[in-house]
Amino acid sequence: MRHATKRIVLCGLSTVGKAFAELIEQRREQITRKYGLNLQIAAAVDIGGAAVADQGDLPLDELLRHLDAGGLVETFSPYGRPGLSGTEALASIPAQILVETTPTNLVDGEPARGHILAALNNGLDVVSANKGPLVLYYREIRNLADDKGCRILMSAATAAALPTLDVGLICLAGADVLAIEGVLNGTTNYILTRMHVEKCSYQTALQAAQEMGIAETDPTLDVEGFDTRNKMIVIANRIFDQNFGPDDVPLEGITGVTPADIDNAIAAGNVIKLVGTAARDINGLTISVAPKVLEADHPLAAVNFAEKGISYLTDTMGRVTVTGGKSSPTGAAAALLKDLIHTVILSD
């Protein structure tokens, strides 16, 4: 098997970035044996600077131990480069792929937007777990990637390990997608499932989710539907080649769902889920997010607790649905690794 060496600039060393580095270290021999890829982390960049391997690969096991002990990436001797930014690293370090895992910023998309644009301008493919730039600047990024002949993959930004985009882009190739429905937020789905199973109030279910660590102390992004909206924007823009933004999506969260609403759904043999929808109608393509009453035989009706699912309706293949996928830093890291492998093997 022909072996290809791919050098990576990793921007972001929070939980997902560290999980990605761990996965690369754990699976290195398997990836080489199975896919013919020699993956090297040429640089790891965080807020205060970077660690850079001028040749070859950073020693990831040593770097991770250094970080776990409370060290900073820029103090990792002898590789540390205090003050080196992501854009500077992408412009100066020989590499082929950016892996972007910095925290999502839905105000201006930075610093991830700058990292992605710098990578594309320097001829690097991009693999991103960061939704911010993809929600706010999708068309700019897509056009630049096309102009530069680069690939940009974003599965990890659309529901961690759930293969949302792989199904729509690869498995359904040749079919026309008529509609997409997604239960894409594990927190809201857990709350609604508890309300359904235990006949409890929203507040009781939310408290249980918070005690289990499924919901944040401030759950607004999840329960008000913003997370589902952002994922649906990325999915719909990629599948339908559109340019939707946050202001284009009518939004309703689950805070107004009452036990009476749940009881009425149960009495009719139905279930309530927070569903993101992208569908064609007389007005063209529209996206919306709202609690939706699903009949028992709907494929997303059985997606319960913290699981997620996505369902595609097509003209020639009928309805195709996939559910599950690990929701965790490891699940997101696995999606990044999958996309990274796809940037190479799908281009051959």
Confidence of residue 327 (pLDDT cuts 50, 70, 90): confident
Determine the Cα–Cα distance for residues 164 and 169; give it in Å rounded to an integer: 9
- How many other β-carbons are positioned within 10 Å of the β-carbon of residue 83? 9
pLDDT digits (tens, 9 = 90+) for 110-150: 999 999 999 999 999 999 999 999 999 999 999 999 999 99
Residue 345: predicted pLDDT: 77
pLDDT digits (tens, 9 = 90+) for 295-308: 999 999 999 999 99
Residue 227: predicted pLDDT: 97
* Catalytic sites, residue numbers: 231
pTM of the model: 0.95
Determine the Cα–Cα distance for residues 121 and 311; give it in Å rounded to an integer: 35
Residues 127, 116 contacting (CB under 8 angstroms): no
Q: Which domains does the chain have, with CATH numbers?
A: 4-161+329-345 (3.40.50.720), 165-323 (3.30.360.10)
**Stretch 309-331: mean pLDDT, rounded?**
94
Residues 36, 2 contacting (CB under 8 angstroms): yes
Q: What is the mean pLDDT of the chain?
A: 95
Residue 344: predicted pLDDT: 82
Residues in the chain: 348
pLDDT exceeds 80 at position 347: no
Percent of the chain with pLDDT over 90: 93
Tokens 């499924």: give the residue.
214
pLDDT digits (tens, 9 = 90+) for 179-196: 999 999 999 999 999 999
pLDDT exceeds 70 at position 2: no
Residue 309: predicted pLDDT: 98
What is residue 293's three-state secondary structure? strand
Residue type at position 239: I
pLDDT exceeds 70 at position 1: no
* 246 prior amide bond cis, ω within 30: no
Residue 283: predicted pLDDT: 83
pLDDT digits (tens, 9 = 90+) for 73-106: 999 999 999 999 999 999 999 999 999 999 999 9
Residue 147: predicted pLDDT: 98
